[in-house]
Amino acid sequence: MEIAIVLTLLVLAIIAFSTEKISVDIVTMTCVLLLVLSGIITYKEAFAPFGSDFIIMLASIFIVTSAIDSSGVLELWTSKLMRRSAGNKMKLIMPMISITGLFSSLMNNTTVTALMINPAMAIAKKSGINFSKILLPLAFASIVGGTCTLIGTSTNVAVNAYLEKNNFPVLGMWDFTWIGVIMLLVTLLYMVLIGVRMLPDRKNDELTDNYGIRSYLSEIKILPNSSLIGQVIQDSDISRMGFTVLAVIRGDRQFAPGENVSFRENDIVLVKGLMQQLIGVKNTKGIDIVADTLDFYNEKDNKLRLAEMVVPGRSNLAGFTIAESDFRRKYGFVVVAINREGKNITEQLNNIRFEVGDMLLVQGRNEAFDKLSSHHDLVLLGDHTPPVKNLWKGYFALAFFMLAIVVSSIPAFNVHVSVAFLASAVLSMLVGAVKPEDAYKNIEWKLLVLIAGMTAFGTAMANSGADKYLAGLIVDWFGGMGPMGIMAGFMVLTVLLTQPMSNAAAALVVLPVALEAAHTLDVNPLTYAVAVMLSASVSLITPFEPSCILVYGPGKYKFGDFFKVGGILTLILMVIIYLTVPITWPL
């Protein structure tokens, strides 16, 4: 009975993760509560991972890397290095992948992608290279780079913590670095020699100066005495301006434009059109943009600025409306329009719930843009000027971070990795590299809850016997292929589960089963554990990974681009894992 409960909850969790109708942390906590109420795990077993050392370690890493990121140190270095490669996409891709992979081996890959995307776009723009040729290699490099060290990705940390908690041998900081470096070099060679030729060559948009290509949803209000009043919608001046009228809001009613429906005073019209057309609204008497609350396009006020932003993976905005997120007060911007690739939105802007990957056209004052680095809920796209403030504080934070890596890597110091990184975070706050209030904002709390909750789920699988049950099935089905064939099966399963789930969650679901299978087969459990862990970080076949979502809109990619280019690379990287892991950890 307990096995059935655990497996049912697992299937429901995977479905919930894939639909994203409910926040992943809520889904995780609901599963944990149900496991406690059913008696499969105790409350101490459920909550132990939330106060564990690896959660402290991850939170500390988020803090110190955000301090380095916001200081502008890495961005300044990146811009200088990549500027030397301007003019040739091959010469640009090689240093870009190398720099991105290096940073990603020590920092969260989503943060690295957000850090790199603007310098890459700015240099590509000056070189006449389309963004579609360089942004996907950047995203792939940030993902694969995380396989180089223990702290390269939260998945590695979570897997190692599970091994330690269950009395298995643990992994060192550099134990699998040589495998990660090989995969990063193969990624570089593949993208330069093959991938770049398979990528589409789609024309760039001028992101901050000319929005004439991308279509946006916006709202237009019919003002009193407007010439539009009484005009039939399909033959109106708005239609002749090139807008597609999606819906009309009249009082409390919203309806689609019928054949003979005409405009009335104070109607709110949901339209889809090019940015140049929206600009034209300002010069048309009798209509205005609803979001026009900051004297939109007031040329006399040079403090106002128009820009595009992307909602990145794990943004706190996802799932909330403009009003619910208190967008204008919190960020200092007004949302003028929204673009969601592949979907037709027919709701008022204020009622639209943000989704990861949404591109927002916003307006705000320059000081709001200056403060944007303290928020990881939005990524600014457009012309890039590397920040030069707080550099010395950034150098301090970087020194503390590197010192933590060195101290925790040398056994003679006898300093646990969680203590070393907590010290680096505290020291970064003491020197002012990051303010305490910003430090808490930059911790990805949803990810921490997800990892801790899925660790507790792993305990439930062990307590209920679900891990033994699933391991027995896999051994029975694939036993004829031998231990290596079974390992390959776990690798494929992990890659498939990373599509509806996060990488860390997928690894923590497969890991208990893989470890139990290793016990059944009497083979080295670390071989299976490392294979599962690395496989969770090489799934490049869909754009669902947060780093891929960040480049999806700016690169004007389609789903098939990831499947075609990333699918081949995923297979190559899985072969490398399959061949190299047993060398370090023989079966």
pLDDT 10s digits, 281-299: 655 667 776 654 334 334 4
pLDDT of residue 532: 95
The owner of tokens 């892991």 is 581
pLDDT of residue 213: 39
pLDDT of residue 433: 86
Mean pLDDT, all residues of the chain: 81
Q: Where is 308: in which H helix or E strand? A: strand 304-310
Q: What are the structural domain ranges in the chain?
A: 2-204+440-584, 215-381
pLDDT 10s digits, 568-580: 999 999 999 999 9
pLDDT of residue 300: 43
pLDDT 10s digits, 157-216: 989 988 988 889 989 899 999 999 999 999 999 998 898 888 887 765 543 333 333 455
pLDDT of residue 272: 72
Tokens of residue 152, six digits = 């390269």
Environment class of 193 (CB within 10 Å of its CB; exposed 0-12, middle 13-18, buried 19+): exposed
Percent with pLDDT over 90 in the chain: 20
Highest mean pLDDT among 33-42, 237-246, 290-299, 341-350: 33-42
End-to-end Cα distance, the chain: 34
Tokens of residue 389, six digits = 């403030």
Closest CA to 472 of 518, 523, 506, 532: 518
SS3 state at 321: coil
pLDDT 10s digits, 133-149: 888 999 999 999 999 99
Please name the fold of domain 215-381. Alpha-Beta Plaits (3.30.70)
Q: What is the pTM of this model?
A: 0.73
Residue 326 pLDDT exceeds 50: yes
Looking at residue 286, its amino acid is G
pLDDT of residue 296: 38
Beta strand segments in 144-231, E: 215-222
Highest mean pLDDT among 225-239, 297-311, 529-543: 529-543
DSSP strand pairing (359-365 vs 253-255):
unpaired
Tokens of residue 356, six digits = 């990861």
Residue 40 pLDDT exceeds 50: yes
pLDDT 10s digits, 426-451: 999 999 888 887 788 778 888 888 88
pLDDT of residue 584: 93
Tokens of residue 352, six digits = 């639209």
pLDDT 10s digits, 333-355: 877 777 776 555 556 667 788 87
Q: Where is 380: in which H helix or E strand? A: strand 379-381
Q: How far apart are CA 163 and CA 156, in angstroms?
A: 11
The alpha carbon of 351 is separated from its chain's Cα centroid by a whole number of angstroms, namely 24
Average pLDDT over residues 459-478: 85
Tokens of residue 434, six digits = 């990051």
Sign for the pseudo-dihedral over CA of 321, 325, 326, 328: negative
The alpha carbon of 60 is separated from its chain's Cα centroid by a whole number of angstroms, namely 19
Residue 132 pLDDT exceeds 90: no
The alpha carbon of 436 is separated from its chain's Cα centroid by a whole number of angstroms, namely 24
Q: Give 212-231 as a DSSP string.
A: -SSEEEEEEEE-TT-TTBT-
pLDDT of residue 209: 39
With a CB cutoff of 8 Å and minimum separation 6, the contacts of 526 are 163, 168, 169, 171, 585
